Homo-oligomer: A and B are copies of this chain.
Amino acid sequence: MTNKGQILRLLNYKNLLKHLQTLGFKKVFSDNISDTLEISSSLVRKDFGNFGITGNRKGGYDIDSILAKIDEILGKDEIQKVIVVGTGRIGQALMNYQGFIKEGIQIVAGFDNDFSKVSEGEDIPILHLDKLPEFVKEKNIKIAIMCVPQLVAKHTLDMLANSGVGGVLNFTPIKFQSSNEVTVNNINIVHELENLIYIVNKQKTT
């Protein structure tokens, strides 16, 4: 019933609705949403139906209650604690990104094997890798963002899984499969670019 891209779609609904909310709108129709997101209005209604979001046969949907419901579905009642493993260029960019906290995601620490990167006193401390397993267990961390060099990616993933992390957002170019212990979502920026380049070049020749 609930399918692969549906949560990502729900997040898009959320963004749009929050925007409409700031513009002062109180209610919304399925085809307002579908128009801007370029999907069909029936898909919007079906998604809403699947998640128990309900509207009024004429008056459309109440924005406040959709948003409340989406947050409920996503489990936004508690702040999600996340760690960053590998505090190089991209790891640090993510650690310092201000966009997470307003979505209820808190980066609580970074980890690196390079002692020169360690700085325990900071707002968001960078700790040595050795302290990771204990930290994860003690603070009950479930989610990690992995930004280590690809050579150590497999080893790092195993370590995270063994420490009790249940989900890893993987920025290394190696595509990992999810296992029973750990769900891996891969972001391959190079591939995204190559894909884009392909589309653009293709259009040129058509």
Contact = CB atoms under 8 A, between A and B. Distances in A.
A80 B198 CA distance: 11
Interface string A92-126: 11101101100101000000000000000000000
A133 interface: no
Interface string A56-83: 0000000000000000011100001010
B197 A80 contact: yes
Interface string A1-24: 000000110011001000000000
B193 A105 contact: yes
Interface in A137-181: 142-143, 145, 166-169, 173-175, 177
B7 A195 contact: yes
A90 interface: yes
A89 interface: yes
A187 interface: yes
A130 interface: no
A37 B8 CA distance: 23
A43 interface: no
Given A90-B93, A99-B190, A100-B190, A105 B197 contact: yes
B175 A196 contact: no
A134 interface: no
7 contacts: A11-B188, A11-B191, A11-B194, A15-B173, A143-B196, A167-B200, A169-B192
A-B CB proximity, top 3 nearest: A167-B200, A89-B93, A166-B200
